[in-house]
Amino acid sequence: MATAILIVSCQQQQTGQDSEIENKVEDLLSKMTLSEKIGQMNQLSSSGNADDFKEMLKKGMVGSFLNEVNPVTINKMQKVVMEESRLKIPLLFSRDVIHGYKTIFPIPLGQAASWNPDIIEKGARVAAQEASEAGIRWTFAPMIDITRDPRWGRIAESLGEDPVLTSVLGAAMVKGFQGKSLNDTNSLAACVKHFCGYGATEGGRDYNTTIIPEQTLREVYLPSFKASIDAGAATLMVSFNEINGVPSSGNDFLLRQVLRKEWNFDGMVVSDWGSVEEMINHGFCADRKEAAMKAINAGVEMEMVTSTYVEHVENLIKEGKIKESTIDEAVRNILRLKFRLGLFDKPYVAVNSKSSLYSDEHLASAKEAAIQSLVLLKNENNTLPIKSTVKSVAIIGPLADAPYDQMGTWTLDGEQEHTITPLVAIKEEFGKQVKVNYAKGLEYSRDLSTKGFTAAISAARQSDVILMFAGEESILSGEARCRADITFPGKQRELIAELKKTGKPLVLVIMAGRPLAITEESKIADAIVYAWHPGTMGGPAIADVLFGKVPPSGKLPVTFPQMTGQIPVYYSQKNSGRPAKEPLMLLNDIPVSAKQFTLGCSSYYLDAGYKPLYPFGYGLSYTTFVYSDLKLSKNQMKKEDQMEISCKITNTGNVEATEIVQLYIRDLVGSLTRPVKELKDFKRVAIKPGETVKITFTLNTNQLKFWNAKMEQVVEPGQFKVWIAPNSSEGLEGSFEVTE
């Protein structure tokens, strides 16, 4: 594995352009004073006033700024360093452009529900084009942390619970941000984050401790980073958390051994906001000086916001605690990035150029991404799509017309006046087809007042169908927005229950930054569409799906728990020695004065069983797909071999639709226990009504490898199961053997 990476890396470095850049880096580095080197490692947050930093810029004491989006200010700062500093090293301006700059796409978790790397790449490309017009050339995305805990607010930024899906989609996002060449002025340097294990934080509480065995680290949490780096990611950000007692900002195993030696990464590593200094709070460093020493020696090359490097590096070198060669290597990586971005040749922003903000093309891309992110979870009696016989709809709920909240977390530059909500879209697109009776019911998602219930119930009674828009405000998910109870906040559950009493068909559209625990609501709603936070064009996307202009195709990138206490629940779990088996005796089935072994002895919850509410990979359509005729090209594979696995899928309905077909395997016996299922591949396929298509996957033994106790990546001989499936809980099952 490492050999293959080294070959690719060497091939990249042998190009003429890279050779020229390396020569420029070495020439410039040889001219730099230690103070100027340290300056390149210093990133500050802009105050918005260029004059505040003028003297520092003249002396070469700043290498990068974040949070400056005024191109006039950016040009003014660049002019100081390009005309008044000694070495004229351009500044690098950065921003958290997570799922759009002005044109906001669905939150990353929503985009992941598309299972479509093309959609993800296009969304990142739109973000790069818009952000670069403001002078931003570096974004702190994608976030490719694997997480299996929806209490964690930053699950909204993630691409879900699975390493394979996250690897494919994360690499696509990197390609979108960086474009064909970093040298293009409309490209952003991607920053894959957070390295590493941030999504495994205890209790789903942000910044918290993580305990991750190395085998699990390498098998679950590292692959997505490796895939993004192989895709060309220019930079990497360390995580806030510690892993097994070592904060990531001081973790030389991650940054030196894995990132540099094993993966040959030649990009730049940045801290997270203040994470170097926060190693003091972790109890890993006694003071700021020690924090600077440990971070630099571990391999953190640029310090975000805090100033421990500026204050202490020179003395640390004099004391022999840091080698100047270590500083040189850090600055090489920073300068290399700036040369690759073309900043030395084109440091300024073209202020008067034609803007692409909110262009028709960008809005169309955002709408398509929102459509493909929608997941149909339930559709009793074909309640959806809304039929032509429906003459009136009640639009109710705090998220029906909430343009700000619809954008979701991390939309620093989004503008709610450009957001089209479901209420607006339905009125504009379908207002002649149906009468719209609108009543908010609740002012916002956390509203505890029931004073709006009367109007909402009245609107429902006057309508043929109820469209209830429930969920979370944007502030309830994202960084530091963790929840111990992931049911609907406020009085939404009560409002949904009252609406059900009207007897009208109830369609629940949920906008949220995480999987919510909606077990009770799933029982009473006739149809459920999960819309995540869908962004600028979420309203038109939802309207088109509800009224049948397009069928839903999204599948869940993360498992939905039945209740908060069931967390963590994820599809690729391992069996216990006593796995749960049906039928189960649940809490209300237990006889009074039951004897000790009445319930048997297996692994499940008395009040939730062991199954999730909705499994990973799940999602319905407005048609039905029948899987049949599973075939394996062979029933035995050698250790270096491949096989074809195929099946037929028939669209048995009357609507052309897209199915996301998934390939899973299980290694039945290993030298270390293996998960009950592992995703290995997936395909999106459009199928016409009545059409049968053949889907074929190629599975090679590299995909069967795992990390053993010796930290060797191996494929072991033995029996395997394989599924071609519509989700992680169903599918056609076959088997094969791997031999020596």
Please identify, among 493, 517, 546, the residue that sits at the C-terminal boundary of a domain: 546
Please pick, among 145, 272, 401, 526, the residue that the annotation labels catalytic.
Answer: 272
The mean pLDDT of the chain is 96
pLDDT tens digits, 441-478: 999 999 999 999 999 999 999 999 999 999 999 999 99
For the cut 50, the answer to whether the pLDDT of residue 310 exceeds it is yes
For the cut 50, the answer to whether the pLDDT of residue 6 exceeds it is no
Same domain? 393 vs 532 = yes
pTM exceeds cut of 0.75 = yes
Average pLDDT over residues 512-520: 98
Element (H, E) at 145: none
pLDDT tens digits, 653-672: 999 999 999 999 999 999 99
Say how far apart CA 330 and CA 654 lie, in whole Å.
60
Tokens, residue 210 = 């993580």
For the cut 90, the answer to whether the pLDDT of residue 9 exceeds it is no
For the cut 80, the answer to whether the pLDDT of residue 11 exceeds it is no
In a domain, 150, yes or no: no
Residue 620 has a pLDDT of 98
Residue 3 has a pLDDT of 33
In a domain, 354, yes or no: no
Residue 513 has a pLDDT of 98
Average pLDDT over residues 486-500: 98
pLDDT band at 352 (very low <50, low <70, confident <90, very high): confident
Q: Which of 139-153, 198-212, 581-595 has the lowest mean pLDDT?
A: 581-595
Q: Is the C-alpha dihedral spanning 263, 268, 271, 277 positive or negative?
A: positive
In a domain, 40, yes or no: no
For the cut 90, the answer to whether the pLDDT of residue 299 exceeds it is yes
Q: Is the C-alpha dihedral spanning 537, 538, 543, 546 positive or negative?
A: positive
pLDDT band at 424 (very low <50, low <70, confident <90, very high): very high
Same domain? 412 vs 537 = yes
pLDDT over 70 percentage in the chain: 98
pLDDT tens digits, 529-582: 999 999 999 999 999 999 999 999 999 999 999 999 999 999 999 999 999 988
Tokens, residue 558 = 């993360």
Residue 7 has a pLDDT of 31
In a domain, 477, yes or no: yes
Same domain? 386 vs 513 = yes
Residue 17 has a pLDDT of 76
pLDDT tens digits, 251-290: 999 999 999 999 999 999 999 999 999 999 999 999 999 9
Q: Is the C-alpha dihedral spanning 578, 580, 583, 588 positive or negative?
A: positive
Same domain? 371 vs 473 = yes
In a domain, 304, yes or no: no
Contact status, residue 606 vs residue 587, Cβ threshold 8 Å: yes
Same domain? 391 vs 513 = yes
Domain membership of residue 542 as a residue range: 367-546
For the cut 60, the answer to whether the pLDDT of residue 104 exceeds it is yes
Q: Clarify whether 272 is annotated catalytic.
A: yes
In a domain, 54, yes or no: no
> What CATH code is carried by the domain that includes residue 521?
3.40.50.1700
Contact status, residue 144 vs residue 93, Cβ threshold 8 Å: no
pLDDT tens digits, 580-605: 988 899 999 999 999 999 899 999 99
> What CATH code is carried by the domain that includes residue 678?
2.60.40.10
Same domain? 530 vs 660 = no
Same domain? 524 vs 632 = no
For the cut 80, the answer to whether the pLDDT of residue 5 exceeds it is no
Residue 639 has a pLDDT of 87
* Packing angle, helices 538-546 and 422-430, rounded to 10: 50
Same domain? 522 vs 656 = no
With a CB cutoff of 8 Å and minimum separation 6, the contacts of 372 are 113, 114, 116, 119, 553, 554
Q: Which amino acid is at 412?
A: L
Residue 501, CB-side half-sphere exposure with 13 Å CA sphere: 11
pLDDT tens digits, 232-255: 999 999 999 999 999 999 999 999
Taking Cα atoms as reference points, which of 300, 323, 305 lies closest to residue 313?
Answer: 323
Tokens, residue 178 = 């960086």
pLDDT over 90 percentage in the chain: 96
In a domain, 483, yes or no: yes
Same domain? 633 vs 534 = no
Phi, psi (5° rounding) for residue 382? 50, 45
Please identify, among 511, 546, 581, the residue that sits at the C-terminal boundary of a domain: 546
Please identify, among 506, 526, 546, the residue that sits at the C-terminal boundary of a domain: 546
Same domain? 382 vs 519 = yes
For the cut 90, the answer to whether the pLDDT of residue 518 exceeds it is yes
Task: State how many domains the chain has.
Answer: 2
Q: Which of 54-58, 314-318, 637-641 has the lowest mean pLDDT?
A: 637-641
